[in-house]
Structure 1
């Protein structure tokens, strides 16, 4: 586990709230989401605040890495507006 990773029961509760808030829908591509992604990565100073978290599918979460959302080639701002 990375030193930037979140873990523990508080994280699990936050993760469940974010997935429910986003209807288990990936913020990047619209597929079913099973993970939660930091919009601004913790490595880059982001926090575990729910305003900095979105639901993401495994593929998008792994592809994004520590990059900021708007810097990903497949980011669809229209999808974010619809969610």
Structure 2
């Protein structure tokens, strides 16, 4: 049986897509809702009059041109992220105009730098049990090609000559 379908507008055309298909706008909406729940002060800052005036000043200063690639830019971005330096969020020297592509690249680079190694860090798992209790079988089933297995039982059973 095939998945149910839903009707969506994609690139200006209505199309039937699988029910679990998500467009970028749907994922952006979900991300923004989560962000709004978790950090209201941060999100509400971007709706203030002070931010709107500062944003306009920066766009005028940079002639609405991306400072990185020279194409038309419409995003005013913090050089030092406002999450890292909240007090400097309205300083025009800490703001630059970017196009969508350059902003996405910068944001991805910042995210990788901030989260680097979080998922790749080595994890140590100690499997303990009586002899012949299935430890070796458990490890053989769950280990990956990058795991280092230290078999204490095997090492203690060796007789040094």
Scaled by the length of structure 2, the TM-score of the pair is: 0.38
Question: How many angstroms does 1:48 deviate by?
Answer: 2.3
Structure 1 gap segments, 5+ residues each: 72-83
Is the partner of 2:103 in helix, strand or coil? Answer: helix
Question: How many angstroms does 1:58 deviate by?
Answer: 1.3
- Size of the aligned set, in residue pairs, is 68
Distance 2:106 2:47 in 1: 20
Matches within 5 A, 1:34-53: 34-45=74-85, 46-53=88-95
Is the partner of 2:80 in helix, strand or coil? Answer: coil
Distance 2:56 2:66 in 1: 14
Question: How many angstroms does 1:28 deviate by?
Answer: 1.2
Is the partner of 1:29 in helix, strand or coil? Answer: coil
Computing the radius of gyration from Cα coordinates, the structure with the larger value is 2
Is the partner of 1:12 in helix, strand or coil? Answer: helix
Structure 2 gap segments, 5+ residues each: 1-31, 114-161
In structure 1, the partner of 2:159 is none
- CA RMSD, 1 decimal: 2.1
Distance 2:66 2:92 in 1: 15
The question of whether the paired residues in 2 share the 8 Å contact of 1:38 and 1:48 is answered with no
Question: How many angstroms does 1:47 deviate by?
Answer: 2.3
Give 4+ residue runs of structure 1 displaced > 6 Å after superposition: none
